[in-house]
Amino acid sequence: MKQPIKDSPRQNNSPPGIHEQSGAELHFRHFAETLPQIVWTAEPDGVLDYIGPQMGKYTGVSEDDPDYLNWAPLIHPEDLDEVMSNWGNCVQKGTIYEQEVRIRSANGNYEWFTARAVPIHNEAKQVIKWYGTTTNVDSLKKSAAEKDRFIAMLGHELRNPLSAITNSYHALGNDLNQEKRELTMEILGRQISHLSRLVNDTLDVSRLSAGNFKLVKGRLSLNRIVQDCVKDYEAIAREENIRLELDETTAALWTEGDSVRISQCLNNLLSNGIKFTDAGGQVSVSLREEPEAGMAVIEVRDTGIGLTPEEMEFIFEPFRQGASAYRLSKDGLGLGLSVIREIMVLHEGEASVRSEGKGRGATFSLRFKTTEGPAVGLVDTGRGDKKPNAATILIIEDDVNVSTALELLLQSSGHEVHALPDGRSAFSFLAQEIPDIIFCDLSLSGSLEGWDIARQIRATYPDRAPYLVALSGHAQPSHVAASMEAGFDEHLAKPATLEQLRQAVAKALK
């Protein structure tokens, strides 16, 4: 078989004289040079007679090079035989050519391309020309591979907590003594938290990728955030026999930011520090000021497995963890640190890491711009540990399981709770009694959705409407904006944490 990809009758990419080209040929060449794909043509026998300049830009081979049309040396050695065979068969049969192939770039790396060529036939059904394109699909293939890997990881990570939750549920149906029942409840709590974190991390990455991640900024005390987060992890550290220490600056440091998202960043670092540190180790948190730079720095240092220089380069990329993390079979999707990086970018700050190597621990840093604190008397002195007075609460939720669980949870906090499945029954209740707060789902059975209910409540009770909270699985920025427009006071994504529910009730009772 004739070698169709070399020994071209012309030794460069242009015909002997430009004046010999037809007007159509000139137009074709100009059009081909505007496309991002590599455009090429071949004679009926498969010998290439033109390759667009994009090939030269990618491979580094000049169009004036005598071997410009000889692209066989640029094909990955593992792909060359298949390419030769496939192209030769298509030329022989006059059928459309399609091929995925790796081509060497100017820097020596191989990237994936998809090549496609169509034969042009004359009236006698003889091939008179081949027109083809070669398109770089390397990023698409890598994205597809990452997606497949992510789905596999997500399936694995979801099975673990679901398995523990299922087993705990069946165990609670047995006659357990008090100690074993408490242990089972602790397992349920941990696994539900883990499941929620997996879902939230996945949603955060989706929102960040789509540019729909919004911050609710205000003036914040970094001292308070650090104290609260460390306090939240003290019990977890004790359970793992890890010493958790706080080395806080005496100066009050403030920033403009989203308290929920900053706490999310610090909680993630604390969780990782404890997770990747052996029993008997230490996790230290510090807050300090860089006055010359106008920055505040939160650092989380651990004595854990450490990181190699190579791992530090990609540790903030999605779906990536250090090699030791995989070997230790630690849970997680490798999303948390990528979310932290993007949250810090949105705060005009920075997330960074340093480590002296394997087995020598790691230090993660969060850097924020500082701002002046509020005037004396306006400082928030705590998280509101005082238990609010009992509230009258109405839940509007058509999922009986969700409604019943939320009702029991709020009743256990001493509140009077009523649960109804739809807007019609809710307005019948409101005609008799106005509660302090309403938790309302958005997607409800019946003619009224959650947004409709909020609008009607505002219109019917303009001076004594209860505090309205949208509680929904729909949590994109567009959904939150629609809830605010409809008249809700706030929008919580399911599953709402106990702290979020408590804060909402506290706001309603003010």
Instruction: Return the CATH class of domain 18-136.
Output: alpha beta
pLDDT in tens, 31-65: 888 899 999 999 999 999 999 999 999 999 998 89
pLDDT in tens, 241-298: 999 999 866 678 999 998 878 988 998 899 899 999 999 999 999 999 999 999 999 9
At residue 507, φ and ψ (nearest 5 deg) are -65, -40
Per the document, the length of the chain is 510
High-pLDDT (> 90) share of the chain, %: 49
Q: Which of the pair, 190 or 269, is modelled with greater confidence? A: 269
Strand partners, 420: 396
As a whole number of angstroms, the distance between CA 90 and CA 96 comes to: 6
CATH code of domain 218-369: 3.30.565.10
pLDDT of residue 332: 54
Fold type of domain 392-509: Rossmann fold (3.40.50)
Inform me whether the pLDDT recorded for 162 exceeds 60.
yes
Residue 167's pLDDT is what?
A: 83
For the chain, give every domain's residue range.
18-136, 141-210, 218-369, 392-509
Query: Within 10 A of 118 (CB to CB), how many other CB atoms are there?
Result: 14
Please give the pLDDT value at position 1. Answer: 33
Amino acid in the structure at residue 250 = T
Asked whether the CA dihedral 466, 471, 475, 479 is positive or negative, the reply is: negative
pLDDT digits (tens, 9 = 90+) for 379-406: 443 333 434 478 999 999 998 888 988 9
What is 141-210's CATH number?
1.10.287.130
Nearest-angstrom CA–CA distance, 171 and 194: 20
Q: What is the pLDDT of residues 309-319, one digit of tens each?
A: 988 888 888 65
Mean pLDDT of the chain: 84
Characterize 195-223 residue by residue with b for buried, 16 or more Cβ atoms within 10 angstroms of its Cβ, and e for exposed. bebbbbbbbbbebbeeeebeeeeebbbbb
- Which pLDDT score, from 0 to 100, does residue 476 have? 80
Inform me whether the pLDDT recorded for 166 exceeds 90. no
Q: Which of 279, 271, 397 is nearest to 335 (CA)?
A: 271
| Residue, of 301 and 63, whose pLDDT is higher | 301
What average pLDDT does range 413-428 have in this prediction? Answer: 93
